[in-house]
A and B are shown apart, each in its own frame.
Chain A
Amino acid sequence: MRIVIINYGAGNIQSIKFAFKRLGYDALLTDDVEEIKNADKVIFPGVGEASSAMKMLRQSGLDTLIPQLKQPVLGICLGMQLMCNSSEEGDTKGLGIFDCDVVRFSNKVKVPQIGWNAITALKTNLFKDIVKTEYIYMVHSYYAPLCKETIATAEYGIPYSAALAKDNFYGVQFHPEKSSTVGEQILKNFLQL
Chain B
Amino acid sequence: MLTKRIIPCLDIKNGRTVKGINFVDLRDAGDPVELAEIYAREGADELVFLDISATEEKRRTLADLVYHVAEKVNIPFTVGGGISSVEDVDVLLHNGADKVSINSSAVKNPQLINDLVAKFGSQCIVVAIDAKVIDGEWIVHLVGGKVPTEIKLFDWAKEVEERGAGEILFTSMNHDGTKNGFANEALAKLSSELNIPIIASGGAGNMQHFTDTFIKGKADAALAASVFHFKEIEINDLKKELRSKGIPVRL
Q: Chain A: residues with CB nearer than 8 A to chain B?
A: 11-12, 14-15, 18-19, 21-22, 47-49, 107, 110-118, 135, 137-141, 155-156, 175, 177-181, 183-184
Chain B positions within 8 Å of A11 at CB level = 93-94, 120-121, 124
* Other A-B pairs, 6, CB within 8 Å; known A117-B2, A180-B74: A12-B94, A12-B98, A15-B96, A19-B74, A135-B3, A140-B123
Partner of A114, one of B67, B120, B167, B250: B167
Distance in angstroms from B159 CB to nearest chain A CB is: 17
A21 touches B71 (CB 8 A): yes
Determine chain B's interface SS by DSSP, over half rule.
loop
Q: Chain B: residues with CB nearer than 8 A to chain A?
A: 1-5, 40, 45, 67, 70-72, 74-76, 93-98, 120-124, 166-167, 195-197, 220-221, 250
B2 touches A113 (CB 8 A): yes
Chain A positions within 8 Å of B5 at CB level = 115-116
Question: Are A47 and B220 also in contact (CB < 8 A) when A115-B5, A177-B74 are?
Answer: no
Partner of B2, one of A14, A116, A175, A178: A116
Partner of B123, one of A22, A114, A135: A114
Partner of A178, one of B76, B95, B197, B221: B76
CA of A11 to CA of B120 in the docked complex: distance in angstroms? Answer: 7
CA of A22 to CA of B75 in the docked complex: distance in angstroms? Answer: 13
Chain A positions within 8 Å of B72 at CB level = 22
CA of A21 to CA of B68 in the docked complex: distance in angstroms? Answer: 13
CA of A155 to CA of B195 in the docked complex: distance in angstroms? Answer: 18
A181 touches B74 (CB 8 A): yes
CA of A21 to CA of B96 in the docked complex: distance in angstroms? Answer: 14
A178 touches B94 (CB 8 A): no
Chain B positions within 8 Å of A140 at CB level = 123
A116 touches B250 (CB 8 A): yes
CA of A107 to CA of B158 in the docked complex: distance in angstroms? Answer: 15
CA of A128 to CA of B170 in the docked complex: distance in angstroms? Answer: 40
CA of A49 to CA of B119 in the docked complex: distance in angstroms? Answer: 9
Residue of A nearest to B166 (CB): A112
B45 touches A47 (CB 8 A): no
CA of A123 to CA of B167 in the docked complex: distance in angstroms? Answer: 33
A107 touches B195 (CB 8 A): yes
Residue of A nearest to B198 (CB): A110
Distance in angstroms from B166 CB to nearest chain A CB is: 5
CA of A104 to CA of B242 in the docked complex: distance in angstroms? Answer: 31
Chain B positions within 8 Å of A107 at CB level = 195
B123 touches A184 (CB 8 A): no
Chain B positions within 8 Å of A118 at CB level = 1, 3
**Among B74, B121, B220, residue most surrounded by chain A Cβ atoms (within 10 Å):** B74
A135 touches B70 (CB 8 A): no
Which are the 10 A-B pairs with shortest beta-carbon distances? A14-B96, A135-B250, A116-B250, A139-B123, A178-B76, A116-B3, A117-B2, A48-B121, A18-B71, A114-B197
What are 29 pairs between A and B in contact, CB < 8 Å?
A11-B124, A12-B97, A14-B94, A14-B96, A15-B98, A47-B121, A47-B123, A47-B124, A112-B122, A112-B123, A112-B166, A114-B197, A115-B4, A116-B3, A116-B45, A116-B250, A117-B1, A117-B3, A118-B3, A139-B76, A139-B124, A139-B166, A141-B122, A141-B123, A155-B1, A156-B2, A178-B74, A179-B74, A183-B74
CA of A40 to CA of B72 in the docked complex: distance in angstroms? Answer: 25
Chain A positions within 8 Å of B3 at CB level = 115-118, 135
CA of A116 to CA of B67 in the docked complex: distance in angstroms? Answer: 23
Distance in angstroms from A192 CB to nearest chain B CB is: 19
B76 touches A175 (CB 8 A): yes
